[in-house]
Protein backbone atom coordinates (compact mmCIF):
# COMPACT_ATOMS: atom_id res chain seq x y z
CA UNK A 1 0.00 0.00 0.00
CA UNK A 2 1.23 3.46 -0.83
CA UNK A 3 0.26 6.87 0.40
CA UNK A 4 1.21 10.40 -0.55
CA UNK A 5 0.74 12.67 2.44
CA UNK A 6 0.71 16.44 2.06
CA UNK A 7 0.58 18.97 4.88
CA UNK A 8 -2.15 21.43 3.89
CA UNK A 9 -3.67 24.71 4.99
CA UNK A 10 -6.88 23.48 3.33
CA UNK A 11 -7.99 20.90 0.81
CA UNK A 12 -11.21 19.87 -0.92
CA UNK A 13 -12.44 17.24 -3.34
CA UNK A 14 -15.25 17.86 -5.81
CA UNK A 15 -17.26 15.30 -7.79
CA UNK A 16 -19.76 16.47 -10.43
CA UNK A 17 -19.39 20.05 -9.19
CA UNK A 18 -20.35 19.03 -5.62
CA UNK A 19 -17.85 19.17 -2.76
CA UNK A 20 -17.71 15.70 -1.20
CA UNK A 21 -14.97 16.40 1.31
CA UNK A 22 -13.29 19.52 2.63
CA UNK A 23 -10.81 20.24 5.42
CA UNK A 24 -8.90 23.12 6.93
CA UNK A 25 -5.43 22.60 8.35
CA UNK A 26 -4.33 18.99 8.29
CA UNK A 27 -3.25 16.29 5.86
CA UNK A 28 -4.28 15.41 2.33
CA UNK A 29 -3.74 11.65 1.99
CA UNK A 30 -3.82 9.90 -1.37
CA UNK A 31 -4.00 6.11 -0.91
CA UNK A 32 -3.11 3.41 -3.44
CA UNK A 33 -3.77 -0.26 -2.72
CA UNK A 34 -1.51 -2.89 -4.27
CA UNK A 35 -2.63 -6.37 -5.27
CA UNK A 36 -1.90 -8.66 -2.33
CA UNK A 37 -2.09 -5.95 0.34
CA UNK A 38 -3.74 -7.01 3.61
CA UNK A 39 -5.15 -5.38 6.72
CA UNK A 40 -1.58 -5.23 8.05
CA UNK A 41 -0.76 -2.80 5.24
CA UNK A 42 -3.82 -0.70 6.11
CA UNK A 43 -2.76 -0.71 9.77
CA UNK A 44 0.76 0.42 8.87
CA UNK A 45 -0.44 3.32 6.70
CA UNK A 46 -3.11 4.40 9.23
CA UNK A 47 -0.61 4.34 12.09
CA UNK A 48 2.01 6.30 10.16
CA UNK A 49 -0.48 8.90 8.88
CA UNK A 50 -1.99 9.39 12.34
CA UNK A 51 1.39 9.82 14.06
CA UNK A 52 3.39 11.58 11.32
CA UNK A 53 5.10 14.58 12.92
CA UNK A 54 5.07 17.21 10.17
CA UNK A 55 3.53 20.20 11.96
CA UNK A 56 5.62 22.84 13.69
CA UNK A 57 5.80 23.07 17.46
CA UNK A 58 6.21 26.40 19.27
CA UNK A 59 9.89 26.44 18.33
CA UNK A 60 9.27 25.94 14.61
CA UNK A 61 10.38 22.30 14.60
CA UNK A 62 8.26 19.69 12.80
CA UNK A 63 7.40 17.77 15.94
CA UNK A 64 3.58 17.59 16.05
CA UNK A 65 1.09 15.20 14.47
CA UNK A 66 -2.25 16.05 12.86
CA UNK A 67 -3.95 14.88 16.05
CA UNK A 68 -1.67 17.07 18.20
CA UNK A 69 -2.78 20.20 16.32
CA UNK A 70 -6.47 19.24 16.15
CA UNK A 71 -6.23 18.97 12.38
CA UNK A 72 -8.23 16.93 9.89
CA UNK A 73 -7.51 14.49 7.09
CA UNK A 74 -8.90 14.41 3.56
CA UNK A 75 -8.49 10.85 2.22
CA UNK A 76 -8.76 9.94 -1.46
CA UNK A 77 -8.27 6.52 -3.02
CA UNK A 78 -5.87 6.79 -5.95
CA UNK A 79 -4.87 3.65 -7.85
CA UNK A 80 -2.51 5.66 -10.06
CA UNK A 81 0.00 5.69 -7.18
CA UNK A 82 0.78 2.13 -8.32
CA UNK A 83 1.58 3.25 -11.87
CA UNK A 84 4.80 1.71 -13.16
CA UNK A 85 6.67 3.64 -15.88
CA UNK A 86 9.95 1.74 -15.83
CA UNK A 87 9.19 0.44 -19.34
CA UNK A 88 8.05 3.16 -21.69
CA UNK A 89 6.07 6.28 -20.89
CA UNK A 90 2.56 4.95 -20.42
CA UNK A 91 1.94 3.80 -16.84
CA UNK A 92 1.11 0.16 -16.22
CA UNK A 93 -1.25 -0.53 -13.34
CA UNK A 94 -0.51 -4.25 -13.22
CA UNK A 95 0.27 -4.16 -9.49
CA UNK A 96 -2.83 -2.18 -8.45
CA UNK A 97 -5.48 -4.10 -6.54
CA UNK A 98 -8.87 -4.70 -8.13
CA UNK A 99 -11.70 -2.33 -7.17
CA UNK A 100 -13.35 -4.59 -4.56
CA UNK A 101 -10.10 -5.36 -2.73
CA UNK A 102 -8.87 -1.77 -3.03
CA UNK A 103 -12.07 -0.26 -1.67
CA UNK A 104 -12.15 -2.66 1.29
CA UNK A 105 -8.57 -1.82 2.31
CA UNK A 106 -9.02 1.89 1.64
CA UNK A 107 -12.12 1.83 3.88
CA UNK A 108 -10.18 -0.07 6.57
CA UNK A 109 -7.41 2.52 6.48
CA UNK A 110 -9.90 5.38 6.91
CA UNK A 111 -11.65 3.56 9.78
CA UNK A 112 -8.34 2.99 11.56
CA UNK A 113 -7.39 6.67 11.24
CA UNK A 114 -10.81 7.65 12.61
CA UNK A 115 -10.33 5.22 15.50
CA UNK A 116 -7.32 7.37 16.47
CA UNK A 117 -9.72 10.25 17.07
CA UNK A 118 -8.95 12.11 13.84
CA UNK A 119 -11.75 13.60 11.71
CA UNK A 120 -11.57 12.27 8.14
CA UNK A 121 -13.32 13.67 5.07
CA UNK A 122 -13.28 11.71 1.81
CA UNK A 123 -13.58 11.67 -1.92
CA UNK A 124 -15.77 9.11 -3.70
CA UNK A 125 -14.22 5.76 -4.60
CA UNK A 126 -13.75 5.32 -8.40
CA UNK A 127 -15.23 8.76 -9.17
CA UNK A 128 -13.59 11.34 -11.41
CA UNK A 129 -12.53 13.92 -8.82
CA UNK A 130 -11.11 17.41 -8.79
CA UNK A 131 -8.78 17.84 -5.81
CA UNK A 132 -7.76 21.27 -4.55
CA UNK A 133 -4.69 21.23 -2.34
CA UNK A 134 -3.12 24.20 -0.59
CA UNK A 135 0.14 22.40 0.27
CA UNK A 136 1.73 24.04 3.30
CA UNK A 137 5.51 24.26 3.14
CA UNK A 138 5.40 22.46 0.78
CA UNK A 139 5.59 19.29 2.82
CA UNK A 140 5.01 15.99 1.01
CA UNK A 141 5.83 12.57 2.45
CA UNK A 142 5.73 9.22 0.64
CA UNK A 143 4.70 6.13 2.62
CA UNK A 144 5.01 2.53 1.47
CA UNK A 145 3.77 -0.35 3.65
CA UNK A 146 6.24 -2.82 2.12
CA UNK A 147 9.01 -0.41 3.13
CA UNK A 148 10.54 -0.22 -0.32
CA UNK A 149 11.53 3.36 0.47
What is the spatial distance between Cα 20 and Cα 16, in angstroms, rounded to a whole number? 9
Helix %, strand %, coil % of the chain (to 5):
25, 40, 35
Secondary element (H or E) of residue 23: strand 18-23
- Answer whether 62's CB lies under 8 Å from 124's CB: no
Angle formed by the axes of helices 99-115 and 39-51, to 10°? 40
Residue 2: cis peptide before it, omega within 30 degrees of 0: no
- Nearest residue to 5 (alpha-carbon basis) of 62, 76, 101: 76
- Which residues are known to be catalytic? 78-80
Amino acid sequence: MRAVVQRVKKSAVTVDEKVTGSIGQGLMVLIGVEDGDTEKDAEYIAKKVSALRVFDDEEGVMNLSVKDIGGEILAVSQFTLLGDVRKGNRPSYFSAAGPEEANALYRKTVELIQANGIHVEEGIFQAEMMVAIANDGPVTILLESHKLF
